Copies of this chain bind each other. A is one copy, B any other.
């Protein structure tokens, strides 16, 4: 699903990760994190994909660095309450980036004028 972000500038947190085998509470945590992000001030949306080998990329979009800092404090607090974090991932990369330019294209669908332009 595409994030309906405003005009740049805004911020992106790019989280690339390789999941280990098995769930071990990961699904529940991930669902809570999505819910938590949605409640966070400055959250603009997120996009996520994971392939069949367990490699995934989640990009969340934020209005400001302050919003990311707020989210980070909140998320780390919640994750610290979890036992499983170290077991969920074989590796990850977390990158914080300022989005300078964006281009969005949606194929116009018959009878649907909801394209983002």
Query: Which residues of chain A from 26 to 82 have any CB-CB distance to chain B below 8 Å in the complex?
Result: 47-52, 55-57, 59
Is A93 an interface residue when CB atoms closer than 8 A count as contact? yes
- A90 partner residues in chain B, CB cutoff 8 A: 106-107
**A21: Cβ under 8 A from any B Cβ:** no
**Residue on B with the closest CB to A58?**
B57
Select A102's contact among B1, B96, B99, B100, beta carbons within 8 Å. B96
Interface of A is mostly: strand
For residue A104, give the distance in angstroms from its CB to the closest CB of chain B: 5
Whether A96 contacts B94 in the complex (CB less than 8 A), given A14-B12, A57-B48, A59-B14, comes out as no
Interface residues of A in 86-117 (CB under 8 A from B): 86, 89-107, 115-116
> Known contacts A16-B2, A50-B49; is A94 also within 8 Å of B99 by CB?
no
Chain B residue with Cβ nearest A9: B97
Distance in angstroms between the alpha carbons of A28 and B9 in the assembled complex: 34
Partner of A97, one of B47, B49, B57, B100: B100
